Structures are given as C-alpha cells and as structure tokens.
Amino acid sequence: MKLKRISYLIFLIGLSVFMYPYVIKVFFEVQNISELNEYENIVEHMSDEEIKQYMEEYERYNDYIANKLPVQELDDPFVPNTKRTPGTVSVLEQQTNTTKSTPTSGPFGYIDIPKIREKLPIYLGGSLENLAKGVAQLDRTSLPIGGIGTHSVIAGHRRYYSGVRFFKYLDKLEAGDRFYIHVYNMTLTYEVTGTDVILSTEREKLSIDPDKDMVTLLTCEPYRISTHRLLVHAVRVGGEQTLEEDERGKKEEGDRGVLSISYNREMTVNREVQMDMMISYVVVGIGSVLWLITFILFIRTFRKKPKA
C-alpha cells in the first residue's frame, strides 16, 4: 500500500511539472480576455471630451519625444539596468499640466495580431513588471496612438516568462501581414514592411521618420538564446477619416505608407501557431482528467481496510 501511495505521488508531481507551462498559457489567455473586456467596458463609459483630452496629452508627449530625445538614449527592456532613463509615465507627467492620472497599472490599449493569434494588453513603459503581464511600449518611444512623425516600439518576451511566451511566433510575420492596435475608441491598422535582426546595443532602426506613422514590434532573437533582437517594422494603413478624405490624403501625403481608413483584413492563422494552441488545450484537458483520477486513487490509499 505504501509503495502504491508513493507511485501515485510521483506520478502526480511529474504530471504537474509537465502540465505547468500549458496550464499557465491557457490560464493567461482566459485572464487576458477578462482584462481586455474590462478595458473596453471602461472605455465605453468615458465621454468623448475625456478621450479627447487624453489624446491631446499623448500628442504633446509624442511631439516631445520626436524633438527632444535622441534614439541612442533608449534602454533595452531585456537587459537588467539599474540606471535606466526616466520611464514613459514620469516623462508624460512632466510634459502635461493636467491633474488627470495617467494609466500606470492598467493597460493603455491592446494589440491584435491575427496571424499568430495574439491579443495582448499594451502597458506604458518597458519595466519588468509590465513585460510580465503583456507587451509594453518601450520607454522614450512614441505612444501608439498614430500620427505622422511617430514611431512606437512595443516589446514582448519570446521565451517563457512567468510561464507565458507573448511574442514566441513573432518571426512568422512577413511583409504584407497586418496587426491592429486598439486605444480607447480607435482601431489603428498597421502593415508589416519588413524585419531586422540587430544587436541589443543598436538603436538606429528605432529612430523616428518624420514622414511616417510607424510601429516596431521588438523581441529576443534567436528563440531560447536571446543574443540579438528581432524587429518587425510596420507602417500605418488606417485612420478615422472618410473615403473622400482618404483619397485626398493619399494625394497630399504621397508615398508615405499612411492611408486614412481603418479596416480589418481576414488573415489566416499560422499553422504552427494553431497546432501549438491545440496541443495546449489537449494537454490541459486530458492531463486534468488524469490528474484528478490519480489524486482520487492516491487519497483512497489512506482509507483503512475493514477488519475481517
């Protein structure tokens, strides 16, 4: 009986260790959906005037970033550094005179990348805390609200961090793929233009182009080794204007890679990503049943047999 009890216990421990990353992944996805629903609920209760006031603050911040902060001062969010430059929130508070509180703990918005089946909250500032919860706008880069002359850099872990790999499949994105950034009542559409692999000390690829509205997704490269950084560059192909304004805007802007209408395009989820998610759900489902059955058998070994 004691040997059987030990066997059950060893099996439970081994199964728990094996299932842990899959359980965390599924748990985070469920938790993530709940948090994003809460964010959208908060936005629904905000007035247009309140949103407008926030957007004016963020535009002033982006102007300050474009004119005052050289790209060489950007910190690498994946390299421990005790001498980091002031973060996004502190700079934002310095550049605005409003008494309204800037979002510091909750998400600023969220990013939807259909091809790799990721919908993740975006936090302000590339702190370890923010990168553990989702993806983060890199300190001292533009806020992801769109606009000519902005370049927002959004970073996310690729290896397991707290059991979750946010940007594991970022390398699957190719030129022409699209992703969407949701901030308040706006949906901003970006189209991938290309990728780069750089050293963690290189910054030139993160500079602002005064004629473009850009977002770069940043993560570690190669997977599991992280000696370099993978950059996925994208330009805005969406906005908030009418079709007539769009045509006029394209003529005025020329070939800047910035259109005006924000729209979604159906995209096929990468097969490797689909398989990964399917395996996760299968492992969690079957593993949970096996764990429960084994646990019941383990408990029953403590029941005393009735005397003859």
C-alpha span between 58 and 53 (Å, rounded):
9
Determine the 3-state secondary structure of 172 from DSSP.
helix
Question: If residue 68 lies in a helix (H) or strand (E), which one and from where to where?
Answer: helix 48-68
Alpha helices in 69-204 (DSSP H): 88-95, 128-133
Domain-wise residue ranges, the chain:
46-269
Question: CB pairs under 8 A, 24+ apart, for 79-82?
Answer: 79/200
Per CATH, domain 46-269 is 1.10.150.120: no
3-state secondary structure of 192: strand
233 alpha carbon, distance to own chain's centre: 15
- How far is residue 130 CA from its own chain's centroid? 10
pLDDT of 291: 92
Please tell me the predicted confidence (pLDDT) of residue 193: 93
Report pLDDT for 305.
Answer: 65
Strand partners, 119: 112
- Low-confidence spans in the chain with pLDDT less than 70: 1, 69-73, 80-105, 159-165, 238-267, 304-308
